[in-house]
Amino acid sequence: MNDKSGTTQIHGYNELTQKLFTRAEYCDSKDYFEGELIELKMGDLGLGHLLQLKCFIKGQTISTIRYRVFGCPHFMALVEYFCEEIEGSLINDIAKIDLHEMQIKLAIPTEKTALILLLEDVIDEIRLQCV
């Protein structure tokens, strides 16, 4: 089966989703990093998706970001992609991240749009805690 971009899908997950799901470079390794720590817990285990996020802030930059996640492979890949995009970014710039574009690239079906909305809340919460 092919998605709209023409890439082969396996069990409903495109190649990029599979790569990010298995890579998990930003998973919480319990290492301690420098900077002000912001911790978030968002989602609902009962609904099938939960995200714990640790952001280490130096000045106005997200120097390091780590996560723990429970959910489907789409959610796990989305969080990995999100972390890749915001690590090293200025706090004010994270609102410019195009989550809809991530949804398209990862071929996340519209019935899982709640995952995108959850990350919008994460962006807002990071920015609020850094004020």
Name the residue ranges covered by the structural domains of the chain: 10-129
Residue 3 has pLDDT above 50, yes or no: no
Give the pLDDT confidence score for residue 6 in this predicted structure.
43
Report long-range pairs for 91-96 (Cβ below 8 Å, ≥24 apart). Answer: 91/57, 91/60, 91/61, 91/62, 91/126, 91/127, 91/130, 92/60, 92/127, 94/62, 94/123, 94/126, 94/127, 95/123, 95/127
Residue 1 has pLDDT above 50, yes or no: no
Pick the CATH number of 10-129 from 1.10.3720.10, 3.90.79.10, 3.90.1010.10, 3.40.228.10: 3.90.1010.10
As a whole number, mean pLDDT of residues 71-98 equals: 94
